[in-house]
Amino acid sequence: MALETVSANRSHGGTQGVYRHRSRETGTDMTFSVFVPDHADGARLPVLFYLSGLTCTHANVTEKGEFRRAAAEHGLIIVCPDTSPRGEGVPDDADGAYDFGLGAGFYCDATNAPFDRHYRMGSYVAHELPGLIADHFPVDRSRMGITGHSMGGHGALTLALKHPELFRSVSAFAPIVAPLQCPWGHKALAGYLGNDWQQAGRRYDACALIEDGARVPEILVDQGAADNFLEEQLRPQLLVDACAKAGIPLMLRMQPGYDHSYYFISTFMDDHIRWHAERLV
């Protein structure tokens, strides 16, 4: 599959690149970033996928996540995809709202027209993108982890729960843990999945997946205690309860004074990279 290099820069003893390709899943051009630390010839490195939140592209975490120093130290490739398909003919929210449509793909495969044609971010992240990365970068596909923020934390949790054979480690920053039980999720899942969204949406809800038998070895979550979305949209206690009932070890760290921004994410990014690196040896 053809891959276009948009930019490449030296950083922290590695190369930070931005790339574009034509996606078979979304039917659009997709842009993503990859940081590759310097490594020995012939080496195959573990890889961590980072999924961004509402309104974001690959650029938000690439420019503000402050992950390269730790990634270089631990020899970890970092891949940061976009949050939705984009381009001419890709449908958006009719009112231009930020929480549905462009920038808000929710890492699901839409089944409701007109979104079903392009909004296939679940299959894109789980299958197409890892294959593309393996074809063009020195990754070891047996050592893949996934993390993300907010909507991207939802994506990381649900994709890891559905594909434990692909992702050996999972963490999240301020994730939407139960979209079936919050306004963001109601809007997104109803729009992407149609009339049967409450039942079909169980495949895109971390707490429902756990209730239905999905398992991962353990989960790390950091959550800002001053996050203004905490009570209505994020509801981490639901994940605590689901994991406790299922016997999944969950480390939930409530961080006093931190909000939902990249100031919060960048503060604890080193911890997450180290945590994944220890599990992807």
Residues 170-229 pLDDT 10s = 999 999 999 999 999 999 999 999 999 999 999 999 999 999 999 999 999 999 999 999
pLDDT in tens, 87-143: 999 999 999 999 999 999 999 999 999 999 999 999 999 999 999 999 999 999 999
Secondary structure of residue 106 in the 3-state scheme: coil
* Topology of the domain covering 3-280: Rossmann fold (3.40.50)
Q: Where are the domains of the chain?
A: 3-280
Element (H, E) at 242: helix 236-246
Residues designated as active site: 150, 227, 260
Q: What is the DSSP string of 142-161?
A: EEEEEEEBTHHHHHHHHHHH
Select from 203, 201, 200, 204 the least CA-distant residue to 175. Answer: 204
pLDDT of 164 reads 97
> Can you give the pTM of this predicted structure?
0.98
Structure-token pair, residue 279: 């599990």
Mean pLDDT, the chain, integer = 98
* Phi, psi (deg, nearest 5) at residue 136: -120, -10
* Phi, psi (deg, nearest 5) at residue 118: -120, -30
pLDDT in tens, 34-60: 999 999 999 999 999 999 999 999 999
